[in-house]
Amino acid sequence: MAAANVEDQRLTAPEEPRRRVPFLTVVDPAGDAAFDASTPSRKEIKQNIKHLEYVCSGCGEEKRADQMKACGRCKIARYCSTQCQKSDWKRHKLDCVVPSEGGDVGQYRDVTLKLAARVGANEALMDNILLHSVLQLGLLRDSSLAEKYVIRVTCGNSPADLQGYMNGLINGDGPPEDVQVLLTCQAIDRIPLEEAPPLVRRFEMEKRARYIQSGGRDPFVIIYFVNEEGDMGVSIHGRPVCEAMLAYMSTKPTMEIRSAMFGTSVVPLDEKAIIQQFNNMIRMDKSNKFKLRSYPMPKPTQDPVNASIEEASS
- The tens digit of pLDDT for each residue in 39-61 reads 888 899 988 888 888 888 888 88
Q: Indicate whether 165 and 243 sit together in one domain.
A: yes
Residues 228-251, mean pLDDT to the nearest whole number: 91
Choose the weakest-confidence range: 69-78, 234-243, 258-267. Answer: 258-267
- pLDDT above 60 (res 130): yes
Q: Indicate whether 238 and 186 sit together in one domain.
A: yes
Which of 38, 67, 99 marks a domain boundary? 99
Q: What is the DSSP string of 153-195?
A: EEEEEEESSHHHHHHHHHTT----SS--EEEEEEEEEEEEGGG
Helix (H) or strand (E) holding 111: helix 111-116
Q: Report pLDDT for 8.
A: 54
Q: Indicate whether 159 and 75 sit together in one domain.
A: no
Q: Indicate whether 197 and 153 sit together in one domain.
A: yes
Q: Is residue 75 part of a domain?
A: yes
Q: Indicate whether 128 and 218 sit together in one domain.
A: yes
Q: Is residue 21 part of a domain?
A: no
Q: Is residue 223 part of a domain?
A: yes
Q: Report pLDDT for 199.
A: 86
Cα distance between the two ends of the chain: 73
Q: Report pLDDT for 223.
A: 97
- pLDDT above 90 (res 136): yes
Domain of 187 in residue numbering reads as 110-297
Q: Indicate whether 95 and 116 sit together in one domain.
A: no
% of the chain at pLDDT higher than 90: 39
Choose the weakest-confidence range: 94-108, 150-164, 233-247. Answer: 94-108
- pLDDT above 70 (res 267): yes
Taking all residues of the chain, what is their mean pLDDT, rounded to a whole number?
80
Q: Indicate whether 116 and 212 sit together in one domain.
A: yes
Which of 34, 69, 99 marks a domain boundary? 99
Q: Indicate whether 60 and 123 sit together in one domain.
A: no
Contact yes or no for 153/2 (Cβ under 8 A): no
Q: How far is CA 3 from the centre of its chain?
A: 63
* Measured distance CA(232)–CA(190) in Å, rounded: 15
In eight-state DSSP terms, residue 66 is: G
Q: Is residue 105 part of a domain?
A: no
* Measured distance CA(207)–CA(210) in Å, rounded: 5
Q: Indicate whether 114 and 94 sit together in one domain.
A: no
- pLDDT above 70 (res 283): yes
* Measured distance CA(34)–CA(39) in Å, rounded: 9
Residues in the chain: 314
Q: Is residue 304 part of a domain?
A: no
Q: Is residue 55 part of a domain?
A: yes
Q: Indicate whether 163 and 61 sit together in one domain.
A: no
* Measured distance CA(177)–CA(155) in Å, rounded: 22
Q: Indicate whether 84 and 119 sit together in one domain.
A: no
Neighbours of 57 (CB within 10 A): 24
Residues 165-179, mean pLDDT to the nearest whole number: 63
Residues 219-228, mean pLDDT to the nearest whole number: 95
* Measured distance CA(12)–CA(215) in Å, rounded: 84
pLDDT bin (cut points 50, 70, 90) of residue 303 is very low
Which residues, 6 or more positions from 138, have their beta carbon under 8 angstroms from its beta carbon? 145
Q: Report pLDDT for 261.
A: 60
pLDDT bin (cut points 50, 70, 90) of residue 103 is very low
Q: Is residue 13 part of a domain?
A: no
Residues 216-230, mean pLDDT to the nearest whole number: 94
Q: Report pLDDT for 50.
A: 84
Q: Report pLDDT for 18.
A: 59
- pLDDT above 90 (res 153): yes
Q: Indicate whether 61 and 182 sit together in one domain.
A: no
Q: Is residue 6 part of a domain?
A: no
Overall domain count for the chain: 2
* Measured distance CA(129)–CA(230) in Å, rounded: 18
